[in-house]
Amino acid sequence: MASNNGDVKLIGAWASPYVMRPRIALNVKSVEYEFLQEQFGSKSELLLKSNPVHKKIPVLLHNGKPICESSIIVEYIDEVWSSGPSILPSDPYDRAVARFWAAYLDEKWFPNVRAAPMAATEEAKNAAVEQLKEGLALLEEISKGKDFFGGEKIGFIDIAFGSMLAWLRALQVMLGGVKLLDEEKTPGLCKWAAKFSADPAVKDVLPETEKIIEFAKLLVAKIKAAAASS
């Protein structure tokens, strides 16, 4: 779609938290874009050509130029459409803190969202759940006294963490009712999650928990089958 934003396309898939990040960021900036969805289980020529190193979604195509890796895309969106609300804070220290938590979520926390339902033993599952709870306790601490991690509006940490919210909710159900977002232990995060999910930039991007559960079951079955046959 050509507009005064230039030609903006996003290669992705509705269920991927990493794809939700640039979608939310584009919404925050009121940038129109064409959403090119990959088919589950295959990779399009456009994706392979646009991200030959990782061959992964999301890829943002801006006037034909590809930008890869979800957090890098969000920073790009923030820098290019700088007339819209800022996603990263303006102070360098606050920016470093926001980048720190986004990296923490990707490297340390989210792998446990994947690991928990895939765990081969009860012990491994419990270890993943414990690490998820530890991470949520850290996030609860830094969320205190604010509407969003970014202050009064959605910022970098909100997008990094919020993109994982639908999967976190699905995980609670898939693990038989384990409480991760807990009104007693993480009241700040519960409040934040409700506010974030209802935000106009977010509400049409976050899928319903039931849809994620259905998709996650397919995914877990596929990964387990692949592991068993290798």
- Work out which of 13, 36, 80, 119 binds a copy of itself, going by CB under 8 A: 80
Distance in Å, CB of 69 to a copy of itself, minimum = 6
- Work out which of 8, 61, 75, 213 binds a copy of itself, going by CB under 8 A: 75
3-class secondary-structure state, position 128: helix
- Work out which of 72, 137, 221, 223 binds a copy of itself, going by CB under 8 A: 72
Query: Applying CB under 8 A, does 99 fall inside the site for a copy of itself?
Result: yes
The answer to whether the CB of 124 falls within 8 A of the CB of 115 is yes
Nearer to a copy of itself, 56 or 153 (CB): 56
The answer to whether the CB of 156 falls within 8 A of the CB of 102 is yes
DSSP 87: S
Burial 40-67 (b: 16+ CB within 10 A, else e): eeeeeeebeebbeeeebbbbbbbeeebb
Q: Exposed, middle or buried: residue 22 (CB in 10 Å: 0-12, 13-18, 19+)? A: buried
Nearer to a copy of itself, 49 or 222 (CB): 49
Distance in Å, CB of 78 to a copy of itself, minimum = 9
First to last CA, the chain: 43
Measure CA 69 to chain center: 12
Site string for a copy of itself, 135-174 (x = CB under 8 A): ---x------------------------------------
Stretch that binds a copy of itself, among 9-17, 97-105, 161-169, 170-178 (CB under 8 A): 97-105
Distance in Å, CB of 157 to a copy of itself, minimum = 13
The answer to whether the CB of 11 falls within 8 A of the CB of 68 is no
Residues that bind a copy of itself (CB under 8 A): 53-54, 62, 65, 67-69, 72-73, 75-76, 79-80, 92-93, 95-96, 99-100, 103-104, 108, 138
